[in-house]
Amino acid sequence: MSYLERIEERPGAAEVRAASYRMLALKRGATCVDVACGAGHAVAELTRKGLKVTGVDADPDAIAAARERAPGAMFHVAHSAALPLEDASMDGYRALRLFHLLEDPRPTIAEARRVLRPGGRIVVGGQDYGFFLIDSSDQDLTDVIRLGLESRTVSPRATRTLRDVLLDAGFHDVEVAVHTDVVTDHRLMAPQLKSAAEAAVAKALITEEDASGWLAEQTRRGRRDRFLAAAPTILVGARR
């Protein structure tokens, strides 16, 4: 849960959430489901905007935290491909930070189409780990370590496919927006950098010596205010 909290409270996260709300373009009183709602930041914000929001997450601990953050909303513990909602019951559907965890996004998108009313709006997306940028004196090594980061997720490049998936599912007026989160504070990224390097070693992509040297360089960059990472979030909106 602390990880989910950090993700939504890091610099840039609020701007991405706000951009997704603009793409939903829902009026007060509209119904909306937030799938993979995590600790409920978006559910709380959408509720304050006057929407009737339902939060769904497969993690009971996430739902417990979300209930505390947004006590006026409805919540369900459920998988994204089996929502406990009636057909055509929602004006809006939102799901971010989900598709890198799914082997196949199509059942989830089909379920989104089922619960949306005709003309309802959908916004889906998340980070595409194939576009993740980290500055380094050895960019080739960095690119290999980034593959280690990708190996920690089921579908690290899933979000780039979502426009096609929505179109294939029968959605209309599909639009794509990209929001880039720039990080210059090494401390914010240190755990992910270590995880990526360890994964690259575990996959026999690099040696432990390579990993130690690269992590040491990134730490030195942080101390000298020379650290730079950029992570784009892809948002895809459409109409049912």
Token readout for 57 is: 């997450």
Three-state secondary structure call for residue 35 = strand
pTM, whole model, 2 decimals?
0.91
What is the model's pLDDT at position 188?
87
Specify the DSSP class assigned to residue 130: G
pLDDT digits (tens, 9 = 90+) for 208-236: 999 999 999 999 999 999 999 999 999 99
Q: HSE on the CB side for 116, CA within 13 Å?
A: 26
What amino acid occupies position 153?
T
| Residue whose tokens read 């905007």 | 49
Average pLDDT over residues 159-172: 98
**CA–CA distance, 237 with 240 (Å, rounded to integer):** 10
Cα-to-chain-centroid distance, residue 56: 15
Burial of 177 (0-12, 13-18, 19+ CB in 10 A): middle
Q: Which runs of consecutive H residues, i.e. helices, occur in the chain? A: 2-9, 13-24, 41-48, 60-69, 106-115, 139-150, 162-168, 186-202, 208-223
What is the model's pLDDT at position 3?
63
Binned at pLDDT 50, 70 and 90, residue 9 comes out as: confident
The pLDDT mean for the chain works out to 95
2-239 belongs to CATH 1.10.10.10: no
Burial of 129 (0-12, 13-18, 19+ CB in 10 A): buried
136 or 11, which is more confident: 136
pLDDT above 70 for 1: no
